[in-house]
Structure 1
């Protein structure tokens, strides 16, 4: 039986922490699907299509990874359609654990055969989030060490465009 895992997220942008989780997941599962989902609680900087292109480039070195867009379904519905029986979720701290635990329990209620696998963030990335990186960059800080090169370039370009629009 092929073990397929879905790693859902808004990935706005995908960070090296996300990439580390994806790389580690490829060693545990036959296929890892990175699902670019819409987070209704956040305003996205990148469009879904932009994220798709950027993430595909960042994971191109991983043979068993696929990247998809999912904008109108529950995660459990998307997982079922994709044949995924595992969800991958990253945990950076206790706050993440509390949040993710509740989601995992709801997902288990909705899809009892879908297992959530928690991966602890690598120490080098445990303190970062996409939101934090965008905030630091907005005020001129260097976040390049936390992003794949192509995503860092795209994020810097978006930041320049936003600043021009504010003027």
Structure 2
């Protein structure tokens, strides 16, 4: 059995609990403003960045790092809200391309100031620039592929 050092467990516990707490605060702010959840922002932004060609669902799944079933459910909810449209893919008769509607673009634009305010309040106001960069660098090491 692999032994895990106490400081490794402490790092993991802090990472997960802080991440969850920060996400919860952002979600609360979006909800209070009458806006959709943060996952919608991420999806709408990725689709918007893919304009004018749109994005295939599997491409969105890869960009958001979500399982296929989660991506499908997310897209169904966003489509039902009228923020995206599915169009036939010219290269693949059975495939679809997802594009933003004007409502989707407007909603993403309305979400950003609330999201940005929370990022500023939760991170910028609490950590000086050097520490923010240090945190980003340290987390980047964890994101790198494991050899």
TM-score (norm 1): 0.28
Between structures 1 and 2, the one with greater helix share: 2
Structure having the higher strand fraction is 1
Which structure has the bigger radius of gyration?
A: 2
Structure possessing the higher relative contact order (Cα contacts under 8 Å, 6 or more residues apart): 1
